């Protein structure tokens, strides 16, 4: 499991933001264009997983995901209203086979 530190948050729209993430231990995470992260949360004593496409380039030093608020989406609302720079988010390794070589 990856421990990702939120390095920066850019509000793209009132209901969307891009989260820039780095591995907590400073290790660079390798991935391919087209892959996604599955974020892992313990929410109300239940593990919830949500996948977000990586919106950064594999050449960039930080991972980026862009999150849009979903009306009934517990995790998108949580990310946009409660997560701050410096917070730690847990994730599975980048995954997905729909990649660009």
98 assigned to some structural domain = no
Can you tell me which residue has the tokens 């933001």? Answer: 17
Can you tell me which residue has the tokens 């949500």? Answer: 50
Structural domains in the chain (count)? 1
101 assigned to some structural domain = no
Residue 99 banded pLDDT, cuts 50, 70, 90: confident
Main-chain dihedrals φ then ψ at residue 10, nearest 5 degrees? -115, 120
**pLDDT of 101 strictly over 70:** no
Residue 62 structural domain: 2-91
Contact 18, 55 (CB under 8 A): yes
Identify the CATH number of the domain in which residue 58 sits: 2.40.30.10
99 assigned to some structural domain = no
Interval 2-15: pLDDT, tens: 999 999 999 999 99
Interval 49-86: pLDDT, tens: 999 999 999 999 999 999 999 999 999 999 999 999 99
Residue 77, classed as helix, strand or coil, is helix
Contact 74, 81 (CB under 8 A): no
100 assigned to some structural domain = no
């Amino acid at each position: 499991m990856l421990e990702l530190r939120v390095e920066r948050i850019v509000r793209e729209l009132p209901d969307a933001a891009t989260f820039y993430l780095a591995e907590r231990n400073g290790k660079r995470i390798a991935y391919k264009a087209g892959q996604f992260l599955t974020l892992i949360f313990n929410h109300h004593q239940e593990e919830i997983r949500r996948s977000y496409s990586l919106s950064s380039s594999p050449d960039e030093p930080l991972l980026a995901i862009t999150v849009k608020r979903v009306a009934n989406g517990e995790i998108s609302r949580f990310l946009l209203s409660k997560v701050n720079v410096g917070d730690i988010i847990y994730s599975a390794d980048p995954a997905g086979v729909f990649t660009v070589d």
